[in-house]
Structure formats: C-alpha cells, structure tokens
Amino acid sequence: MADIRSEIQQLGEFGLIDRIAQKFSRVHAASIKTIGDDAAVIAGSEEVTLVSTDMLLEGVHFDLSYMPLQHLGYKAVVVNVSDIAAMNGTPKQIVMGLGLSNRFSVEAIDLFYEGVRAACANYGVDLVGGDTTSSASGLVISVTIIGTAPREKVTYRSGAKVNDILCVTGDLGAAYMGLQVLEREKQVFLTNPDMQPALERYEYMVGRQLKPEARMDIVHELADLNIVPTSMIDISDGLASELLHLARQSEVGIKIFEDKIPIDNTAYETAIEFKMDPITAALNGGEDYELLFTIGPSDYEKVKNHADIHFIGHLHDNANQHVMISKQGTVVPLKAQGWDHFGR
C-alpha cells in the first residue's frame, strides 16, 4: 500500500497550526495561553509575559526590487509590535535572526538595521539578541518579540460576547492597493528600464505597504479611557479572515455593514482604477496592521466620537452565521479569502 501524502496547502496555514497544537499539551501552569492567539501568555509575579514570533521570507513576504532595506528592517519590527498591541500589551524586547546569502554586503545589512533601530526607538523596544547564518538563496528574517501586560488586561481572541460592538482602527485596503501599484510599476520597469516609477499619486498606499505602523497609540488611548476590549486581533491577513478568527474562538456570530468599513479615498479610487471592488481590498487584502476589537455596549459612549475608531457591526448568538450587509441591503456570507501562507 502506497504511503499517503497530504499537501500542506490543503490544510492552509491555520489548519496546520491547529493540527500542530492538537499534538501538544501544557506541562507548566505558567503557560497561560499557548498556540492560537496573537501571542503566547506566560504567568509572572505581577504582570504576564507576552511572546510572539514572525518570519519574513524574500520572495514570499517582500520583494527587494521595490522594498528598501531600511523600510524592511522597520517593518520586521512593526509586524511583531502589532501582535503585542493585539494582546493589549506593551512591547519590551526583540531578538532577531537573519539568514543571509552572499548577495548582501555589510553596508546593505547596515541599512537594514537602520530601519530596525528606528522602529525600536519609535516603539520603545530593545534589541537584546539574535542569530545570523548563511542562506542558500535570499534573505530570511525571524523576529521574536517579548512584551508585558497586567494579567487582568490581557485581551484574547476568545473573549467576545453576544451584542458586543465590532470596531476597527484606521482604514483598510490601502496596503494591498499599495502592493498592486508597486507590482505594476515593477512590471513596467522590467519591460522598459528607462521608465521612471509613477508613484506620486499613490504615496499614501505605497507607504502603508512599505512602512506600516503598529497601533500602540490606540492601546494607550483605550487604557486612558479605562476600556479593556473583550477581544482583539491585528489585521494582517485581511479583515474577513480576522473576523472569522474572532468568531471561531469566541463562539459567536458576526454581522457587519459594508458602508461602515473604513476605506481611504485614494485606495478606493485606485481599486476602481485596477478594476477591483474596493470592499474586496478591504476585506481580503491584508497587511494593514490595524486593530480589530470588540467592546461591550456600555463602553460605546467613551469612544463614539473617536476619529480613528470605526464601528462596523456587532456580534450575535448564531455562531454559524457570519454575514455582511451590502450597501444595497443584500446579505453576503463572509469568507476568509485573505493571505494564506501555504495557499499561494
């Protein structure tokens, strides 16, 4: 009988994570939260420790033909800070591993670490160690971040309740449209190297792709308002995907409204230019690194006038029903069609 071979892409990233998690049990009581959230949670004396890690691979997560090394270093830190923000925590330290091919000079790595240093300074994070090794092809970046939070203020994906309000920060879809612009300009350059990239009109979106920011400002503002979100996740793989994560882990249903989803005007117009539905970019684009969180109805008055928090819907008691109400009033099922690391 032939050996059975299962393809990873059939499971997808999150199916693979679930499969791995099922094979491990907790040994230490201090391991409060293990696999399955934006960060692991480890007990401490007064505060818990938050630990998260992200990998960025050349040719999968970034393209050095249009990603400046300084921006890449900055982004490598930001995507990890965003995970700590999503746990309602404070980032403290990072360790960084690099796999380097012989394409990279000392000066190139200096540029990369200029970006790392700028992000560390911006978010109050210390680089405390790491590892470097050779890579057979391309650049490999692995960052592990350590943060802290008061135990009673840690926010998980699993805490949302029926009738909670769904909130998102900032705007969505711009990073994805920035990527589309960069990919288009790359193809133009490959066809005619004398052509200069036409990026002036797309500056905001390109910036959102190349140099995102983590929303630690919102975490601090919510703390000042004495609000602890009932659940939270950062939007790295697309709004629809993150909504379904919250719904699954909290065992609730989702109802959002298309006309409440925040989309920047230039991103909206650029999506039309690319013959794309702007709401598709917002739902499935990813890499916005905004925060999706839920609050109880009693906290609504505290944030109802916040210019950068948008109320896109609410949670209900049918855990199998996740829908968006279109601008025309049509009920549209929500599906996770965002970034899947093993589905491309």
- Could you tell me if 148 and 49 are in contact, meaning their C-beta atoms sit under 8 angstroms apart? yes
On whether residue 245 sits in a domain, the answer given is yes
**Domain shared by 40 and 169, yes or no:** no
pLDDT, mean of residues 122-141: 91
**Domain shared by 174 and 146, yes or no:** no
Separation of alpha carbons 179 and 185, rounded Å? 10
Query: What is the phi-psi region of residue 196: left when phi exceeds 0, alpha when psi lies from -120 to 50, beta otherwise?
Result: beta
Separation of alpha carbons 338 and 1, rounded Å? 38
On whether residue 3 sits in a domain, the answer given is no
Q: Which residue has better confidence, 191 or 208?
A: 208
Pinpoint the alpha helices (H) of 138-193: 174-191
Residue 161: closest CA among 54, 314, 39, 280:
314
Structural domain of residue 110, as residue ranges?
A: 32-153
Query: What is the phi-psi region of residue 173: left when phi exceeds 0, alpha when psi lies from -120 to 50, beta otherwise?
Result: left
User: Does the pLDDT value for residue 228 go beyond 60?
Assistant: yes
The whole model's pTM is what? 0.88
Residue type, 258: E
User: Does the pLDDT value for residue 18 go beyond 90?
Assistant: no
User: Does the pLDDT value for residue 114 go beyond 70?
Assistant: yes
Domain end position, chosen among 124, 153, 182: 153
- Residues 78-99: tens digit of each pLDDT: 999 999 999 999 999 999 999 9
Burial of 231 (0-12, 13-18, 19+ CB in 10 A): buried
Q: Give the model's pLDDT for residue 79.
A: 97
Among the listed ranges 122-126, 194-198, 215-219, which one has the minimum average pLDDT value?
194-198
Q: Is 318 helix (H, G, I), strand (E, B) or coil?
A: coil
- Residues 55-70: tens digit of each pLDDT: 999 999 999 999 999 9
**Domain shared by 246 and 104, yes or no:** no
Domain end position, chosen among 153, 185, 214: 153
Tokens of 254: 């989702």
Among the listed ranges 32-41, 43-52, 264-273, which one has the minimum average pLDDT value?
32-41
